[in-house]
Amino acid sequence: MTETTTSNCIFCKIITKEIPAQIVYEDTDFIAFLDIRPISAGHTLIIPKHHHRWVWDVPNIDTYFIVVQKIAKALQKAFATESIHSKVVGEEIEHAHVWLYPSPDSSTLDAKAFEKNAELIKKALS
């Protein structure tokens, strides 16, 4: 079942801006933001703006993965690395999402670095 948003979904609340997030990309169908518990600097989640339980339920999955590729290329540029990991998930938050993150390193992940990482990714997307 596809819904525009659900009231109890944290990702839907990010889409509607009820919950703040470090958004690095947004278009009419998708939004990408930094994970609040990052595996590495630049750990980004890409989600559809319409609530779908699983990635495989997203009707325009081809466009979805074009956005995922765009974000992956920006992460490569922003963090000067070729190694970007991806994970298709949906267990913890029941809203389709793809994780992208550079190889974990010793980068700091404090609040200032978090904001700086978002800016690096946005700049790499422009």
What is the C-alpha to C-alpha distance for residues 109 and 40, in angstroms, rounded to an integer? 8
List of residues 6+ apart from 32 with CB closer than 8 A: 23, 24, 25, 26, 44, 45, 46, 47, 67, 71
Q: If you write DSSP's letter for every residue of 68-80 in order, what string do you get?
A: HHHHHHHHHHHTT
Catalytic residues: 97
**Which residues are paired to 31 by β-bridges?**
26, 47
